[in-house]
Amino acid sequence: MLATDTSSSALAIQRDDTQREGGLLTSALRERAADQHYLKLSGLAKSFGSTRVFSEIDADIARGEFITLLGPSGCGKSTLLRAIAGLNNVDAGQIIVNGHDITHLPPQRRGIGMVFQHYALFPNMRVVDNVAFGLRMKKVQPEERERRVNEILRLVELTDHAQRFPHQLSGGQRQRVALARALVVEPQILLLDEPLSALDARIRRHLRDQIRDIQKSLGLTTLFVTHDQEEALLLSDRIFLMHQGRILQQGNAEALYTRPVDATAAGFMGHYNLIGRELAQPLLGYLSDGPRVALRPEALYLQPDSSLYGLQDSQVNFPTQALPSNSGPACPGVIRRHQLLGNIVRYEVDCQGLRLNIDVLNRSSRQLLPTHLRVQVYADLDEVQALADIPAASPTAKQAS
């Protein structure tokens, strides 16, 4: 865990300074309004030649918010991040930070910190010099510089590695150096471009928590780019789901996960079963409003066919799953295969011409249902999402890779 007593840190002090000045009510109000619209993107668009990278990007981000840009590779999220940093220019639109238009400022003068996917540490400098670089560029006095570098290295738990060169560090340590280097200059906004994707799973989890803790303790407005929905769900205050250069849906984790706006969103979040409304009718017992229905795999319930249950081998000890209060009619199906996902078993079930993903809590290996077993499928009608969009590209709920 991270040391949380960062109240003494220079970064926290700076934040207090900006808040202290609100003596008058009006200015306090104005400030709160400014805090609500700390980072404002309006009408941002960018193309490379005839290829549109992103367009119609509008967003309002409050001070201290942790925003995740989530989307498949090539959706424009990284380019958008780089545009905010000033590493790419935009063709149209405005980027406003704290009331200042920074759209045409060079990156040096934007006051934005960034952490790159492949760390981008300067290989010729030791850890201390990497971290101190931004302060040197700002001509911060050596004593002050040393103090702040030490402080930030303590925050990312790298004090012992201060004299190492980047190539002497592990991937996770390198990324923490990169984080420290971006934080030490007290940026107005922190940008993280897939900072975890080059790391292995265990380090990734640890660093993910560390990033979140630091971000919270510093109250830093943060934009995080990832293609990993789990990361997005765990970290973000709000998620911007991007697809083909547009923000498809924005909202908090719960909203994105349980209420996808369309098939693409549903296809990317979770492993939704997307079903045409006619095909869904036997499961739901009624004809849905929208042209499609989205059902999460955990909103479907399985029960072995009672007529066959007695004939089964005694080792199949599948307990009857308690059905939700508002379940649809029983729908006969056959198990095609299963995937063990740790605490969850995902069954693929053929049911009335549909192939459904159904998640069941993995309580015991003796309760696994064999392939070819006939089952009854029930839908939790409270979790049915009618999608009111034009038919999207992906016909079934395939996993977004």
Partner 1 sequence: MSLPAELPYRHGKPLLPSLMARLRLLNPYTLVVGSVFTLLALPLVATLFYALATRWGASLTPDGLTIKWFIELWATPRFLAAFGRSILIAVSALILSLILIVPVVFLAHTRYPRLDNLMNGLILLPFAVPPIVSSVGLLQLYAGGPLPIVGTPWILIPTYFTIVLPFMYRALANSLRALDVASLMEAAQLLGASPLKAFFLVVLPNIRIGIQIAVFLAFSFLAGEFVFANMLVGTRFETLQVYLNNIRGASGHFTSALVITLFVFTLLLTWLGNRQPATEGQPVDEADDTLSGTDLTAPIHNVTPDADSRGTR
Partner 2 sequence: MMPPRLKRWITSPVMWLLPFAIIFGAFQIAPLVWVMISAFKTPDGWGLAHFHEIATSAFFRQAIGRSLEISFMSSVLGLAIAAVTCHSMHRCGPRLTRAMIAFTNMTSNFAGVPLAFAFIILMGANGMLTLMLERIGIIDDFNLYSRTGLIVIYTWFQIPLGILLLYPAFGTLQSEWREAASLLGAGRVAYWKHIGLPVLWPSLAGTLTVLFANAMGAYATVYALVNTSYNLMTIRIANLVSGDLFLQPELASALALVLVVILVIVTLIQQWLMRRSYHVTSR
List of residues contacting partner 2 (CB under 8 A): 82, 85-87, 106-108, 110, 112-114, 116, 118, 120, 122-125, 133-134, 137-138, 165, 167, 178, 181-182, 185
Q: Closest CB to partner 2 among 43 and 142?
A: 142
Q: Residue 138: name its binding partner from partner 2, partner 1, none (Cβ under 5 to 8 Å by kind).
A: partner 2
- 89, interface contact from partner 1, partner 2, none, CB < 5-8 Å by kind: partner 1
CB of 113 vs partner 2, minimal distance in Å = 7
Shortest Å, Cβ 152 to partner 2: 13
Site string for partner 1, 116-135 (x = CB under 8 A): -xx-----------------
Encode burial over 325-360: b for 16+ CB neighbours within 10 A, e otherwise: eebbebbebebeebeeeeeebbbbbebeebebbbbb
Q: Which does 78 bind (CB under 5 to 8 A by kind): partner 2, partner 1, none?
A: partner 1
Question: Within 76-95, which residues bind partner 1 (CB under 8 A)?
Answer: 78-79, 86-92
- Give the contacts of 125 (CB within 8 A, at least 6 positions apart): 133, 165, 166
- Smallest gap from residue 49 Cβ to partner 1 (A): 6
* Among 118, 113, 117, 106, residue whose Cα is nearest residue 131: 113
**Closer by beta carbon to partner 1, 46 or else 208:** 46
Q: How far is CA 347 from CA 19, 68, 297, 338, 353, in A?
A: 54, 30, 9, 4, 16
Kindly tell me the sign of the dihedral angle through the C-alpha atoms of 102, 108, 113, 116: positive
Using the minimum distance from each CB to partner 1, give the nearer residue, 224 or 272: 224
Q: From partner 2, partner 1, none, which one binds at residue 199 (CB under 5 to 8 Å depending on kind)?
A: none
**118-145 as b/e: b if 16+ CB within 10 A:** ebbbeeebbbbbbbbbbbeeeebeeeeb
Distance of CA 92 to the CA centre of its chain: 26
Start-to-end CA span in the chain (Å): 31
- 16-75 positions binding partner 1, by CB under 8 A: 48-50, 73-74
Long-range CB contact pairs, 157-163, < 8 A, 24+ = 157/2, 158/127, 161/127, 162/126, 162/127, 162/128, 163/126, 163/127, 163/128
Which of 118/259 has CB closer to partner 1?
118
Q: Which does 181 bind (CB under 5 to 8 A by kind): partner 1, partner 2, none?
A: partner 2
Count of residues touching partner 1 (by CB under 8 A): 20
Binding site for partner 1 (CB under 8 A): 48-50, 73-74, 78-79, 86-92, 104-107, 117-118
